[in-house]
Amino acid sequence: MTILVTGGAGFIGANFVYHMLEKYPSYKVICLDALTYAGNMETLATAMENPQFIFIKGDIADREAVYKVFESHKPDWVVNFAAESHVDRSITNPDIFLRTNVIGTGVLMDACRKYGTSRFHQVSTDEVYGDLPLDRPDLFFTEETPIHTSSPYSASKASADLLAQAYHRTFKLPVTISRCSNNYGPYHFPEKLIPLMIANALNDKSLPVYGKGENIRDWLYVLDHCVAIDLILHKGKVGEVYNIGGHNERTNLDVVKTILKELNKPESLINYVTDRPGHDMRYAIDPTKINNALGWLPSTSFDEGIKKTIKWYLDNRKWWENILAGEYQGYYEKMYAGR
Ligand code: NAD
Ligand code: DAU
């Protein structure tokens, strides 16, 4: 079995690479990653020592390069994590989101058709459903919830989902799609809420909370997401969409206060800043389908997961300090200046 994992040098893709190498020692895992600002070879250092793992630097939107990878490695399955994934960056520069998230997905699926790949799994997001109002805690996203996007990022992910469904219907491409809620855990790039707040708190820097911090996200420990994708690959039904989430809803302010408490830092570090344009209010996944069909249940509660995550950032300071010291610093200053 050979699995092509795109975006494997990023946060979730790398966790998935490690999960698969450990659980299926006989599988070959090929990682195709363009190493954008979000890709990090330090994350894959241990995988690089495994003879079952091969890393290839390349862009999923580069048709020639992608076909070459398929020609050489003939993957049985493709799992597409590669994406521009940060909502804030999609607001300042939507273009690259269209190229990678839409065109890139199309190129990968063309390669799957050309080389007869037996599964294309698209790693999508709950953001394709738009948001839910704060005063309707009874509402959840199901697989039947209409696509209704808010940001250039979510619009690009929704476009990729529609394209994947069209390839399944028109070309009978064996596609599955998963739509997961917010992940957190090791190797999370420190531009996203949880790792950013941990890093800033550890450096006694202010914690920029957008608006009033009332927005709600449904947090899932990254390994639970990886296990769900593993199950969909092995037992899922072609043509189906599976929502993934563990009923771990928290306001942003709750999350930030939990981090401060765990690190024994004062709440005076919180700084309320100008809100994100078009900011989604609440995400909440109904995971009934994947529970019933595949027996998936999350194994890590938020209270346990956030402690494990904070410990990981304390034990792996060099990993995130290297990122903060690089080009990311310029981004941070630009994104948060005068906010
Ligand atoms: P990430 O930004 O940490 O990693 C993305 C990876 O893709 C990086 O390694 C980057 O170098 C690579 N990449 C970017 N453009 C590429 C291109 N053109 N060709 C090849 N590689 C490219 O993202 P993440 O948070 O790990 O998210 C992975 C996937 O999961 C994305 O598709 C995202 O939409 C989806 N998702 C993320 C979350 C979350 O909470 N982070 C939740 C649900 C779904
Ligand atoms: O729901 C799944 C999605 O979760 C994924 O598809 C995306 O790839 C992933 O980035 C994430 O999107 P969010 O926009 O929810 O994540 P982010 O970490 O950027 O923000 C989480 C919440 O925290 C959101 O309400 C905005 C807020 N926030 C974020 C940052 C970076 C702040 O208040 N301050 C900040 O500095």
| Annotated active-site residue in 127, 161, 224, 249 | 127
Q: Identify whether 143 is a catalytic site residue.
A: no
Rounded Cα distance, 219 and 251, in Å: 10
Q: Which atom of ligand 2 is nearest to the CA of 336?
A: 36
Determine which residue's CA is closest to atom 14 belonging to ligand 2.
87
pLDDT at 334: 80
pLDDT at 203: 97
pLDDT in tens, 34-63: 999 999 999 999 999 999 999 999 999 999
pLDDT at 45: 96
Q: Identify whether 210 is a catalytic site residue.
A: no
Q: Identify whether 254 is a catalytic site residue.
A: no
pLDDT at 339: 77
Asked whether 160 and 166 are in contact (CB, 8 A), the reply is no
Which residues touch 189 (CB under 8 Å, ≥6 apart)? Answer: 10, 11, 38, 40, 86, 195, 323
pLDDT at 167: 98
Rounded Cα distance, 20 and 186, in Å: 16
Spell out where the chain has E strands. 2-6, 28-33, 53-57, 77-80, 119-125, 175-180, 183-184, 207-210, 216-218, 220-221, 241-244, 249-251, 270-273
With a Cβ cut-off of 6 Å, ligand 2 is lined by 85-87, 125-127, 181-182, 192-193, 196, 208-210, 215, 217, 252, 276, 283
pLDDT at 330: 80
pLDDT in tens, 195-220: 999 999 999 999 999 999 999 999 99
With a Cβ cut-off of 6 Å, ligand 1 is lined by 6-7, 9-13, 33-36, 38-39, 59-61, 81-85, 100, 104, 123, 125, 157, 180, 182-183, 189
pLDDT at 328: 75
Determine which residue's CA is closest to atom 10 belonging to ligand 2.
86
pLDDT averaged per 10 residues in sequence order, the chain, 339 residues: 98 98 98 97 97 98 98 98 98 97 98 98 98 97 98 98 98 98 98 98 98 98 98 98 96 98 98 98 98 98 98 97 85 81
